[in-house]
Amino acid sequence: MDDYLNMNEDSIRTNKELILLWDEKTVEPRGTIEWLKGSWFSGHHHIRIHKRMVQWNLKKVSESDIVSYYEQNIYGGKVDSRSDFSRLARILTGNAIGVVLGGGGARGAAHVGVLRAMQEHGIPIDMIGGTSIGAMIGGLYAQGVEDLEQRVRSWFMVSYIHSEN
């Protein structure tokens, strides 16, 4: 059955990716399971879209007007390599960048330094995972915690204080 689901009508294996678009203010997407029921997908992705992408009343605005707007106002600008659409493009083209962080207590501080160095060098992270302290650091990073370094520093300070007593 899996082989059948992995093929299209011409018996050619294909990837079926489900792309769920969300308002840019969405923090925690919901209802994903309803979209995944009854069909086979090789992956699914939650993408935040900018409000300009949903500003059009398609009954009043022609496709050529929308294309013209994008050509004049959007194209030619700097591409944000950390945007959800850039991430999706890398994933779909097989160029995604993944990071897996290991465990071992004190390594957590090193993980933060590695993530900062990658950010400083403009290397986007599309997927992140880990084990033990690496999973904690990866989870915070994936949530977009702005004060990641400060939070990790406070963990180690608390651990140091407790170990002195």
* Across 122-137, average pLDDT: 93
**Position 129 confidence tier, pLDDT thresholds 50, 70, 90:** very high
Output the pTM of the full model: 0.67
> Which residue do the tokens 């406070």 mark?
154
Nearest alpha-carbon partner for 139 in 165, 110, 101: 101
The three-state secondary structure class of 39 is: coil
**Position 11 confidence tier, pLDDT thresholds 50, 70, 90:** low
Give the pLDDT score at 152: 79
Percent of residues, the chain, with pLDDT higher than 70:
86
Count of other CB atoms within 10 angstroms of residue 128:
20
Residue 101 or residue 43, greater confidence: 101
**Max Cα distance, the chain (Å):** 71
